[in-house]
Amino acid sequence: MLSLIKVPQVLTINQVPKVFHEDGIISGYRYPYSTAKDCVLSIFQLTNETLNIWTHFLPTWFFLWKLLVVLVEGGWQDCYRWPLIVFLISSSLYPLASSCAHTFNSMSERARHICFFFDYGALSLYSLGSAISYSSYAFPEKWVNSMFHKYYIPAAVLNSVVSTGLACYSRFSAVKLNMKLCRCLRTVAFAYPYIFDSVPLFCRMFMCSGDGCTVNEATAVHYLHTSLAVFTGFLFASHLPERLAPGSFDYIGHSHQLSHVSAIVGTYFQLTAVELDMNLRKRWLQKHSQPITFTNTVGAALLCVTSSLCIIYVFSQSSITRKKDHYFKRS
């Protein structure tokens, strides 16, 4: 039966429009006007997107399982665990959105833009999910209830919405602006919210000593996932190793695959650190920290989702629809 299934043909960089080009990737491209069926079939053949898909699709189910465990244990009934639930939802959505984007982005140029618009929106929500969990569990004791702590979540919501808009703009305007400038804008769109969200961790790890610094078992894990986040950003921005040897890492080992793996492993350790802080500091936080409410957890996430969907809709409606190149023929 499987022998009767015709897998889609893969192409070289010279056979696909420029919008589909990736730095240092010469071959393994899918037909740029594929059907949805072709896109699904392509995940079972080796292309330059195959590992991008699987490295995020499989971990999605781990984070969904963790979310289900928390919900079954009555997490919705305990407001102290609401930030963890929001974080787990965002940690499940961003790899799922990424795997779907990498699966279906070869349907057309417009579909490619829209797929990655949703990918960017999911990443922005993940950024906010991280901020919500940090605000509730990870702030150093000396910063709890400070002015920065009070406005931390509202600022994180704003940063996440701006992140979605800037990332979508960088892709939408790629045909008008310099490609390198667009990639720089996209990198800033992802890097700035991460840096802001991590300020409480940076304080605990690098700027604080003595009482009020909250040094516990979670601190070492925070070092680990922070290091992996920096490494992920480096891979995303540098396009190494494929830029050093174009064509050598087309199918296995290029930077996007490596960044996926690094991001997922980093998210796992981030979850571990969040859970450690949540459990180890519960009594102190419930006594001294600002209350955890629907507004500063689920409400903030819903506001981010609604705003990002509006932004995605606007850019999707305005995106340029390119006609099929008559030189492309299905074989």
pLDDT category at 5 given cuts 50, 70, 90 is low
Distance of alpha carbon 97 from its chain centroid, rounded?
Answer: 8
Tokens 């037909």 locate to: 31
Rounded (5°) CA angle 315-89-260: 70
Q: Give the helix ranges, DSSP H, for the chain.
A: 36-42, 50-72, 82-104, 109-133, 147-172, 179-197, 199-202, 217-238, 255-280, 282-288, 300-318
Q: What pLDDT is stored for residue 122 in this prediction?
A: 98
Residue 306 CB contacts under 8 Å (≥ 6 apart), including other chains: none
pLDDT of residue 177: 59
The CA R_g of the chain, rounded to the nearest whole Å, is: 21
Average pLDDT over residues 147-171: 96
Cis-peptide, bond into residue 241, ω within 30° of zero: yes
Residue 50 pLDDT more than 60?
yes
Dig out the tokens for 168 from the structure.
């979508």
pLDDT of residue 103: 98
For the CA atoms of 295, 298, 303, 309, the dihedral, rounded to the nearest 10 degrees, stands at 180
Share of the chain above pLDDT 70, in %: 92
Contact 160/94 with Cβ under 8 angstroms? no
Closest CA to 156 of 205, 100, 90, 208: 90
CB-based contact 112:164 (threshold 8 Å): no
What pLDDT is attached to residue 215?
84
CATH number of 48-318: 1.20.1070
Tell me the domain boundaries of the chain. 48-318
- Name which of 83, 82, 88 is nearest 68 in CA terms: 88
pLDDT score of 331: 41
Asked if residue 99 lies in contact with residue 43, where contact means CB atoms within 8 angstroms, the answer is no
- 58-107 per-position pLDDT tens digit: 999 999 999 999 999 988 899 999 999 999 999 999 999 999 999 999 99
pLDDT of 144 higher than 90: yes
**What local confidence, expressed as pLDDT, does residue 174 receive?**
59
pLDDT per residue as tens digits for the range 274-320: 999 999 999 999 999 999 999 999 999 999 999 999 999 999 988 75
Q: What is the pLDDT of residue 209?
A: 74
The answer to whether the predicted template modeling score (pTM) of the entire model surpasses 0.75 is yes
Q: Does position 326 have pLDDT exceeding 80, yes or no?
A: no
CA distance 76 to 133: 15
The whole-number average pLDDT for the span 51-59 is 98
Q: What is the DSSP string of 259-286?
A: HHHHHHHHHHHHHHHHHHHHHHTHHHHH
Please report the pLDDT score of residue 7 as a whole number. Answer: 66
**What are the pLDDT digits (tens) for 176-223?**
557 778 888 899 999 999 999 999 999 999 887 777 787 899 999 999
Q: How many angstroms separate the CA atoms of 67 and 94, rounded?
A: 14
pLDDT band at 257 (very low <50, low <70, confident <90, very high): very high
- What pLDDT does residue 276 have? 97
Q: What's the pLDDT at 176?
A: 57
